[in-house]
A = this chain, B = another copy of it.
């Protein structure tokens, strides 16, 4: 259940522009695509595509307000990805400590 979520989140976060957008929205609060596009060397349409990718991954939602759409961060998706990272890291740490317990000095160092 968490697996496909993490899948989409990392795919979305793989692009540096998308990380910047997420960063900016989390810092400044909700903005429209046109407002955001001003700060990047790419077209508004390109920004919209990135925002849609982030929204599909569950990291953003776009809320219509008359003529414009304001995008805001949804933090839950990030939590899942962070959990995956720490899980892999911890798993390796456990392996390391388990190995070190059995280790005689003649063996190669880990």
Q: What is A's interface to B at a CB cutoff of 8 Å? A: 7, 10-11, 13-16, 19, 22-23, 26-27, 29, 65, 72-73, 75, 78-79, 81-82, 85-86, 88-89, 91-93, 95, 99, 108, 110
**Chain A binding site: helix, strand, loop or mixed by DSSP?**
helix
Extra contacts, 7 of them, besides A11-B14, A73-B95, A75-B88 (Cβ < 8 A), are: A10-B10, A13-B14, A14-B15, A26-B91, A73-B92, A75-B93, A79-B89
Max count, chain B CB within 10 A of own CB: residue among A22, A29, A65, A85: A85
Contacts of A19 in B (CB 8 A): 10
Contacts of A14 in B (CB 8 A): 10-11, 13-15
* Interface residue from B13, B91, B93 paired with A10 (Cβ < 8 Å): B13
Contacts of A88 in B (CB 8 A): 22-23, 26, 73, 75, 78
- Contact A82 B73, CB 8 Å, known A14-B13, A15-B14, A95-B29: no
Contacts of A81 in B (CB 8 A): 85
Contacts of A65 in B (CB 8 A): 108
